[in-house]
Structure formats: structure tokens, C-alpha cells
């Protein structure tokens, strides 16, 4: 019997099983996700040094190709690339040739002609990173920094790293994801990662208008009540209300959303006493979460920011040279 190869796996991995691109968590198994987390762990201490860089990507050129604005994500990718000693080019799409009528394919060809080695791509269209990966010449790596409603794999992985740091692992954990599931590429990636890494249960909590029709097929339990949804959970992930992506009157008001689904200390008490609170940012205080919770002792939101740099260092170094990243993970040597 012939085996049908998973296209999401085949486009992302080399024949040896190393990362070629990092486009989605679909097709990546628990071993690969754990490898990414372990590699990121080895980079955490780099940020605490006086000289905060290692030479893994020295001589390489990374292009931040952001068709959709995101200061936080682009900044962390830029910092991650520089800590790996790469040269970084931030392409301003608003004034680039694509805005003047040049096709995306022609723009990519011109960037490749400048000896670019990696494109970090953010785009409002789902599947944009996959399209670019299918167009570039072999040897150019593509990292998905968020595409439409499809996926945001590095955000999901930094969340997984944060959970593992605070909970020690994933088995037996109950995780609740709260908010605008419908428009969230982050939620889809988180659900995939959590199930792949072996948590006991993933719950999504949202009004019907902010849930995709096939949400249960993603591998989660749906709940429209905060009290029952948060009962005894170990991790609470609050999502940003995607104002810019919302179409139509999906909510009566932000005030009503906060009253029912916003995370306050009162609602937090329904979770496990040692539950951690997460948010991918930027936070809309008083809409998704109250300040007392966001700044409180159970919040690990700032840890997520720190871990974002380490995760992006990990996937960039692995995609640009699995052997170099593996060697660094084993020895921690090679700092400049």
C-alpha cells in the first residue's frame, strides 16, 4: 500500500528531517516541536549576556518581508536574526516595488539576486508564506510570521515554551483559549501545538459569533461559559479582540464582551489556583483582561515576550542549517 505524503510536512522538511521552511505546525510531529523547544531553551541565556550574539548565521542575509504591519513581531524577528549574527533587511512594503505594481514573484527574484538567504513573511492572505516557499529557489528559507487567519507558528511555539517553563511539561494539562477564535491565526496554531505535545484537554471559550464552524474538528472542547470553561484549568490563554479583522456586528459591544468573557480576578478564581495567564499581545486592557490580572502574580505575559526571541532564533537557525543548530544545542559553544 502506498503512503500519501503530508504536503505540509514535505514542503517544510528536508529529506533528512531537518527544517527547510517554517510555515505551519501542520505536518510537524511531537519530536520536531520538542526539538524546536529544546533549541530555543539553549538560546535563552544568550539574552542575559553582555554580548548578546552567537555566530550561527554570520554572513547570512535575512529579509523581513512584512505585507501587514506588526511592530512587535517584526522587532523580535529582527532582534533574533541579529543575535544570530545575520545581516537584516527590513523591507517597507508601503514604498516597495510591489506597491508600485511589480509582481510579488519579480520582487522575490530581485531579492534573491541580492543573495538573500531567508525571508520572514507576514501577510494578510492565508497561504501567502506557502506560495512564497513554492516560488523561491532552493536554499532560501521561508519563515511564516503570520498569514491571514491560517497560522502564526512562531507565536504558538513561544507560548509552548512558556508553558513548559512554568509547568514542566504538557501531559495532564488542561488549557483554555478565550476570545476571538474565529479571526485568530494564533488560536489555530496553539490548538495544533497543544494537541501534538500531548496536553490532556484544550478548551475554547467564546460566543458563537466568534467561533469557526469547524472548531471542534481542530481538537478542542467548545464552551460558551467562562465559569465552566475555566474550571480547574492549568493555563489560560486570552486572545486579542481582532478589531481590524472583524466583519459585521459580531459583538454587541466591547463592554459587553468584557463583562462576559474578559478575564478578571473573580473569573480567574475558577481556574486551578496555580494556573498561569497568557496573552499574545498587544493587550486591550479592560476588553480582554483587567490590568490586575495582566500585571498580577499569575501572569507570564512578559515571559512570552522574552521567549519570542529565543523561539525565533531557534527556527531561523534550524531552517538555515539544522546541523549548526543541533551542534549549538548539544554544546552551547560557538559564542562570539
Contact at 8 Å (CB) between 288 and 237? no
What is the spatial distance between Cα 130 and Cα 121, in angstroms, rounded to a whole number?
Answer: 10
Query: SS3 for 305?
Result: helix
What is the spatial distance between Cα 111 and Cα 249, in angstroms, rounded to a whole number?
Answer: 41
Alpha helices in 69-103, H assignment, sequence order: 71-83
For residue 98, which of 109, 87, 89 has the smallest C-alpha distance?
Answer: 109
Q: Is 72 annotated as a binding residue?
A: yes
> Which DSSP symbol is given to 13?
B
Q: Is 167 annotated as a binding residue?
A: no
Q: Is 122 annotated as a binding residue?
A: yes
Q: Is 185 annotated as a binding residue?
A: yes
Query: SS3 for 147?
Result: strand
Grid coordinates in use for 150? 491560517
Q: Is 100 annotated as a binding residue?
A: yes
What is the spatial distance between Cα 317 and Cα 328, in angstroms, rounded to a whole number?
Answer: 10
Q: How far from 279 is each of 67, 171, 186, 272, CA to CA, in Å?
A: 24, 21, 10, 18
Residues 6+ apart with CB under 8 A from 75: none
Q: Is 130 annotated as a binding residue?
A: no
Q: Is 123 annotated as a binding residue?
A: no
Q: Put residue 207 in one of left, alpha, beta given phi > 0 → left and psi -120 to 50 → alpha.
A: beta
Q: Is 252 annotated as a binding residue?
A: no
Query: SS3 for 238?
Result: strand
Q: Is 21 annotated as a binding residue?
A: no
Contact at 8 Å (CB) between 136 and 113? no
Q: Is 82 annotated as a binding residue?
A: no
Annotated binding site: 72-73, 100, 122, 152, 155, 185, 240, 281-282
Annotated binding site for carbamoyl phosphate: 72-73, 122, 152, 155, 281-282
Annotated binding site for L-aspartate: 100, 185, 240
Amino acid at each position: 500500500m502506498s503512503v500519501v505524503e503530508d504536503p505540509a510536512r514535505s514542503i517544510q522538511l528536508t529529506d533528512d528531517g531537518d527544517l527547510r521552511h517554517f510555515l505551519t505546525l501542520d505536518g510537524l510531529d511531537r519530536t520536531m516541536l520538542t526539538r524546536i523547544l529544546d533549541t530555543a531553551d539553549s538560546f535563552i541565556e544568550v539574552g542575559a549576556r553582555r554580548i548578546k550574539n552567537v555566530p550561527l548565521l554570520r554572513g547570512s542575509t535575512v529579509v523581513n518581508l512584512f505585507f501587514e504591519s506588526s511592530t512587535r513581531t517584526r522587532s523580535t524577528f529582527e532582534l533574533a536574526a541579529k543575535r544570530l549574527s545575520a545581516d537584516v533587511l527590513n523591507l517597507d512594503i508601503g514604498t516597495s516595488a510591489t506597491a508600485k505594481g511589480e509582481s510579488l514573484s519579480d520582487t522575490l527574484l530581485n531579492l534573491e539576486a541580492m543573495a538573500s538567504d531567508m525571508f520572514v513573511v507576514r501577510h494578510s492572505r492565508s497561504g501567502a508564506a506557502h506560495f512564497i516557499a513554492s516560488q523561491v529557489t532552493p536554499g532560501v528559507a521561508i519563515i511564516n510570521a503570520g498569514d491571514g487567519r491560517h497560522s502564526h507558528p512562531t507565536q504558538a511555539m513561544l507560548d509552548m515554551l512558556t508553558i513548559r517553563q512554568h509547568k514542566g511539561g504538557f501531559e495532564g494539562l488542561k488549557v483554555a483559549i478565550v476570545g476571538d477564535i474565529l479571526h485568530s491565526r494564533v488560536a489555530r496554531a496553539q490548538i495544533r501545538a497543544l494537541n501534538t505535545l500531548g496536553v490532556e484537554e484544550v478548551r475554547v471559550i467564546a460566543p458563537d459569533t466568534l467561533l469557526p464552524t469547524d472548531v471542534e474538528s481542530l481538537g478542542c472542547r467548545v464552551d460558551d461559559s467562562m465559569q465552566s470553561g475555566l474550571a480547574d484549568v492549568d493555563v489560560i490563554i486570552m486572545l486579542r479582540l481582532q478589531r481590524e479583522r472583524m466583519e459585521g456586528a459580531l459583538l454587541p459591544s466591547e463592554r459587553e464582551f468584557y463583562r462576559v468573557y474578559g478575564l478578571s480576578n473573580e473569573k480567574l478564581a475558577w481556574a486551578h489556583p496555580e494556573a498561569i495567564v497568557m496573552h499574545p499581545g498587544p493587550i486591550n486592557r479592560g476588553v480582554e483582561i483587567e490590568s490586575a490580572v495582566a500585571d498580577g502574580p499569575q501572569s507570564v505575559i512578559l515571559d512570552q515576550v522574552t521567549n519570542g526571541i529565543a523561539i525565533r532564533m531557534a527556527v531561523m537557525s534550524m531552517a538555515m542549517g539544522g546541523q549548526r543548530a543541533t551542534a549549538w544545542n548539544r554544546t552551547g559553544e560557538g559564542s562570539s
